Chain A
Amino acid sequence: DVKVTQSSRYLVKRTGEKVFLECVQDMDHENMFWYRQDPGLGLRLIYFSYDVKMKEKGDIPEGYSVSREKKERFSLILESASTNQTSMYLCASSLLAGGNIQYFGAGTRLSVL
């Protein structure tokens, strides 16, 4: 079975802090994704990556950056956390681009105070 592991289930941070959310997949997938999920807005794509050291902006990249130094690991970085970044963050991976099944991690619920 594919396993996508997010390092933290819950995080509480202060405004202005630099925050790292880590995601690791164990199936040698090419593609990895970061989403945020908010009530009434659904899942929105923040960033994705089709290969090591490669990144593409999604629909809401502002205030975020990403890092993919190794194939299995995709990190989401909040350079200076703000209260409007309080959300559920979901990482996903898929074997190939386009129409492949995406496998999701359990999510990280981030609260920025």
Chain B
Amino acid sequence: KQEVTQIPAALSVPEGENLVLNCSFTDSAIYNLQWFRQDPGKGLTSLLLIQSSQREQTSGRLNASLDKSSGRSTLYIAASQPGDSATYLCASSGSRLTFGEGTQLTVNP
């Protein structure tokens, strides 16, 4: 059974800092790896999807990488802003999505 782990559980940084969120998964037989953002009390918004054949995907200040062999993905956020404060979840896609518990990010002005 796939298990997805996210470290750290919470992170607080000053505005402008570059940061990395980590995601690890136990079963490398995945279709893709997805990163989502969740604001308090809200649903999930898809940020990036990396296909299993890809190494990375970029969207604006976000860059996600995937290393299937080691079972790891990272989400890099450049020049963080207070508006980036949210919980970030990764999910591996096999026959269904398996989610990590998320990293709660706070960017302080």
Contact = CB atoms under 8 A, between A and B. Distances in A.
B97 interface: yes
A40 B45 contact: no
B46 A101 contact: yes
Contacts of B43: 4, 6, 90, 104-107
B101 A40 contact: yes
Contacts of A86: none
B7 to A, nearest CB: 14
A112 B95 CA distance: 32
Interface in A11-43: 40-43
A19 to B, nearest CB: 19
Given A45-B97, A98-B95, A90 B34 contact: no
B99 interface: yes
A58 B30 CA distance: 18
Contacts of A43: 89, 91, 97, 99
A107 B52 CA distance: 29
Nearest to B34: A101
Given A43-B89, A99-B32, A101-B49, A48 B41 contact: no
Nearest to B51: A99
Interface string A99-113: 101111111010000
B34 A42 contact: no
Contacts of B34: 101-102
A69 B99 CA distance: 28
A57 to B, nearest CB: 11
A40 B100 CA distance: 10
B100 A104 contact: no
Interface of B: 30-32, 34, 36, 41-46, 49, 51-52, 89, 91, 93, 95-97, 99-102
Given A106-B43, A107-B43, 6 more contacts: A4-B43, A41-B101, A42-B89, A98-B31, A98-B93, A99-B32
